[in-house]
Amino acid sequence: MTVMVCRVCGHPNVLRSRFEAECTECGSEDLEPEDAYDPIERELRCEYCGYKVNTTTRPDAEWAEDEQAQSTPTSVDDPCPICERALVPANEAKDVRDEPEFKVAQEAARKLHREHTIPGPPYQLDELVVELGLEIVCGSFDHDGLLIGERIEIPNSASTVVQRFVIAHEIGHHVLRHEGERSKLEPEANAFASELLIPRADLGAAIAKIPSAKALKEHFGVSRQVLVYALMSARAINKIRP
C-alpha cells in the first residue's frame, strides 16, 4: 500500500495502488507520494515580514473573486502578498526580527492605496473596510478601539479625527495579520495608519503648497499628533510652520 498526500486539502490517503489517483477526502486527483523527494510545502512564511500561509487552504473556486485567487500564494514561486518578498517553507524560515517592521507596515499601506480606490484626502476608509471584509461598530466601549475578529469596535465618544485614526490602525492589525507581542505590533499599526491617512508622496506635495501645520491637519483630516508622526517619519518636520 502507498500513502499519497493530497495537494489540495493535505489529506493523507492510504491507497492499495499508486494508480488510484483520487483523494478520499475531497476527490482531487492532485496527489503526491508522502515520501516524495520534494515534499509538499504546506506552510510558507515570509522571512522579511513574518506573513504565513497554509497552501492547502485555498479560496473556494466558485465563490472567490478572481483577484483574491490570484493574490493567494500557493508555492515558494509566489511573492509575499504583504511585502512582495520571497516565501520559504515555514520550517526553513529564520526568525523574524523582534523589532517593529516599520517599512513593512508602511509598504502594506501603500499597497492598499495602489490596489483600492480610497477617496480623499482626507481619505475615507468606509468603503475600504467593506472591501477588506471588515465592519465598523460604534458603541459605549471601555477601550480606545479594538479589532475583534472582523469587527472594528470604536467608542462613539471619540472625535471624528480620532475615529478615523482608530479605523486605520485596526485595518493595519488586520492587513499585517498581527498576533503576539503588543509592544511590537502597536508601533507597526501606528506606522501603517499614518501612511494610510497621510501617504508620504501626498505629504510632500501638500507641504509644497500649504506648509502650515493647521492647514495640513485639515487637509488630511488628522490630529496634530498624527501629523507630527508623519512629518517626523518623512524627516520633513522642519519644512512647515505652525
Residue 187's domain is classified under what CATH number? 1.10.10
| CA nearest neighbour of 90 among 37, 49, 50, 33 | 50
Count the residues in the chain: 242
In this structure, the answer to whether residues 117 and 202 fall within a common structural domain is: yes
Q: How far is CA 177 from CA 172, 180, 189, 214, in A?
A: 8, 10, 10, 34
In this structure, the answer to whether residues 32 and 52 fall within a common structural domain is: no
In this structure, the answer to whether residues 113 and 166 fall within a common structural domain is: yes
In this structure, the answer to whether residues 51 and 141 fall within a common structural domain is: no
In this structure, the answer to whether residues 127 and 151 fall within a common structural domain is: yes
In this structure, the answer to whether residues 52 and 143 fall within a common structural domain is: no
Contact call for residues 22 and 50 (beta carbons, < 8 A): no
The total domain count for the chain is: 3
In this structure, the answer to whether residues 122 and 77 fall within a common structural domain is: no
**pLDDT values of the chain reduced to their tens digit, one per residue, 242 residues:** 577 777 666 778 777 665 666 777 777 777 777 665 444 456 787 766 566 777 655 444 433 344 434 456 677 778 776 656 677 877 766 555 555 688 889 999 999 999 999 999 999 999 999 999 999 999 999 888 999 999 999 999 999 999 999 999 999 999 998 886 666 788 899 999 999 999 999 999 999 998 899 999 999 999 998 999 899 888 888 888 77
| Cα gap 146→155, rounded to integer Å | 9
In this structure, the answer to whether residues 74 and 61 fall within a common structural domain is: yes
In this structure, the answer to whether residues 35 and 50 fall within a common structural domain is: no
In this structure, the answer to whether residues 164 and 197 fall within a common structural domain is: yes
- Looking at residue 167, what DSSP letter applies? H
Q: How far is CA 29 from CA 20, 32, 87, 211, in A?
A: 9, 9, 26, 63
| Cα gap 215→122, rounded to integer Å | 12
Q: Enter the C-alpha cell of residue 181.
A: 507581542
Full residue range of the structural domain in which residue 174 is found: 102-239
Would you say the pTM of this structure is higher than 0.75?
Answer: no
